[in-house]
Amino acid sequence: MAITRDEVRKVAALARLRLEPAEEERLTADLDHILDAFAKLRVLDTTGVPPARALAEPATPLRDDEVLNPPADDAVLANAPAREGRHFRVPKIIE
Amino acid sequence: MSALHDLSLRDAAMRVRRREVSAVELTRATLARIAATEPQVGAYLTVCGDEALAAAAAIDRRVAAGEDVGRLAGVPIALKDIICTAGVRTTAGSRILERFVPPYDATVTARLRNAGAVIVGKLNCDEFAMGSSTENSGVGTTRNPWDGTRVPGGSSGGSAAAVAARSCFGALGTDTGGSIRLPAAYCSVVGLKPTYGRVSRYGVMAYASSLDQVGPLARDVADAAVLFDAIAGHDAKDSTSSPRPSRALAGSLEGGVRGLRLGMPREYFVEGMQPDVERAVREAVRVLETAGASVESVSLPHSEYAIATYYLIATAEASSNLARYDGVRYGLRVAKPGSSVGEMYAGTRAAGLGAEVKRRIMLGTYALSAGYYDAYYLKALQVRTLIAQDFTKALAGCDALVAPIAPTTAFRLGEKTADPLTMYLSDIFTISVNLAGLPGMSVPCGFDGDGLPIGLQLIGKPFDEATLLRVAAAYEGSTEWRQRGPRL
How far is residue B270's CA from residue B264's CA, in Å, rounded to a whole number?
12
How far is residue B253's CA from residue B10's CA, in Å, rounded to a whole number?
14
Q: Does B334 touch chain A (CB under 8 A)?
A: no
How far is residue B389's CA from residue B380's CA, in Å, rounded to a whole number?
14
pLDDT of A37-63, one tens digit each?
999 999 999 999 999 986 555 666 677
How far is residue B130's CA from residue B123's CA, in Å, rounded to a whole number?
15
Q: Side chain identity at B183, as an amino acid letter?
A: P
List residues of B with catalytic annotation: 80, 155, 179
Which H/E stretch holds residue B339? Answer: none
Q: Does A2 touch chain B (CB under 8 A)?
A: no
Residues B145, B486 contacting (CB under 8 angstroms): yes
How far is residue A35's CA from residue B262's CA, in Å, rounded to a whole number?
36
Query: Which residues between 382 and 401 in chain B have a beta carbon less than 8 angstroms from any beta carbon of chain A?
Result: 382-386, 388
Q: How high is the mean pLDDT in each 10-residue block of chain B (488 residues)? A: 88 97 98 98 98 98 97 98 97 97 96 98 98 97 98 98 98 98 98 97 98 98 98 93 91 94 95 94 98 98 97 98 96 92 96 98 96 94 97 97 98 95 93 98 98 98 97 97 92
In CATH terms, the fold of domain B4-260+399-483 is: Amidase signature (AS) enzymes (3.90.1300)
Determine if the peptide bond prior to B299 is cis (ω within 30°).
no
Q: Does A54 touch chain B (CB under 8 A)?
A: yes
Q: Does B89 touch chain A (CB under 8 A)?
A: no
Closest chain B CA to residue A42: B375
Report the residue from A75, A78, A91 with minimal CB separation from B344: A91
Beta bridge partners of B401: B263, B459
Residues B95, B136 contacting (CB under 8 angstroms): no
Closest chain B CA to residue A32: B363
How far is residue B51's CA from residue A43's CA, in Å, rounded to a whole number?
56
Contact (CB<8Å) B362/A60: no
Q: Does A50 touch chain B (CB under 8 A)?
A: yes
CA dihedral B179, B471, B71, B49 (to 10 degrees): -30
How far is residue A70's CA from residue A78's CA, in Å, rounded to a whole number?
15
B121 backbone dihedrals φ, ψ, rounded to 5°: 175, 180
The three-class DSSP label of residue A50 is coil
Q: What is the ipTM of this complex?
A: 0.93
Going from the N-terminus, what domains does chain A have, and what CATH number goes with each? 5-43 (1.10.20)
Q: What is the pTM of this model?
A: 0.97
Residue B117 CA, distance from chain mean position: 18
How far is residue B416's CA from residue B72's CA, in Å, rounded to a whole number?
38
Interface test with B, best of A18, A31, A42, A64 (most B CBs within 10 A): A18
Q: Supply the mean pLDDT for chain A.
A: 88
What is the SS3 string spanning B237-289? CCCCCCCCCCCCCCCCCCCCCCCCEEEEEHHHCCCCCCHHHHHHHHHHHHHHH
Which H/E stretch holds residue B214? Answer: strand B214-218
Going from the C-alpha of B282 to that of each of B233, B297, B473, the distances in angstroms are: 34, 12, 18
The three-class DSSP label of residue A94 is coil
How far is residue A69's CA from residue A63's CA, in Å, rounded to a whole number?
14
CB pairs under 8 A between A and B: 165
Distance from CA of A67 to the nearest CA of B (A): 11
What is the SS3 string spanning B118-186? EEEEEECCCHHHCCCCCCCCCCCCCCECCECCECCCCCCHHHHHHHHCCCCCEEEEECCCCCCHHHHHH
Query: Which residues between 100 and 129 in chain B have a beta carbon less than 8 angstroms from any beta carbon of chain A?
Result: 100-101, 103-104
Going from the C-alpha of B229 to that of each of A40, B70, B199, B331, B459, the distances in angstroms are: 41, 12, 10, 33, 19
Residue A95 confidence (pLDDT) above 80: no
Chain B residues in contact with A17 (beta carbon < 8 A): 346, 349-350, 353, 358, 361-362
Report the residue from B305, B369, B378 with minimal CB separation from A11: B369
